Amino acid sequence: MDSHTYPVTRTDAEWRARLTPEQYAVMRNHGTERPGSCALLHEKRAGTFSCAGCDQPLFESKLKFESGTGWPSFNDPVAGSVETTVDRSYGMVRTECHCARCGSHLGHVFEDGPPPTGLRYCINGVALKFEPAA
C-alpha cells in the first residue's frame, strides 16, 4: 500500500480477519481475480456496490454496464468514493483505482467506456459488496 493515510485504517491482522484470502490478495496486495469468476459480474438489480473492506458506497447499479472483459464495469463512481494512482506494474502504465476511505485496491479505470463519461471502471468483483435497493 502507499504511504497515504486513509480515514479507515486496520492492522494487517485485522484486514486478514475481515477479508477472505482472495479479497486480501486483491484489495491489499493489488491482485486481480480471474475474469468471469465473480457473481457480481452478472448482478443486474438496482442497488449499490460498496467496498468490501470498509462498506463505503462506490458505484450505483444504474452506471454498471457489460464491457465483455469479465469484470464488473461502471461509468462513474459515487462522488468522492474512489481515488486513482498511476500503476506501472507488468511493464505498462495504467490508472489504478482504490477506495478513498480505506485505500483498498479495486481495479483500474480506462478511457474506452461508453458515453456519457467515456470511462470504464473495471473493478474486481471480490472488492465489492452489493446491497439491493429497498
Supply the residues annotated as catalytic.
122
**Partners of 122 in beta bridges:** 73, 108
Q: Where are the alpha helices (DSSP H) in the chain?
A: 12-18, 21-27
Return the beta strands (E) in 29-71 as ranges: 47-51, 57-60, 64-65
Instruction: List Cβ neighbours of 64 (8 Å cut-off, separation of 6 or more).
Output: 43, 49, 72, 73, 74
Structural contact between residues 59 and 77, judged by C-beta atoms closer than 8 angstroms: yes
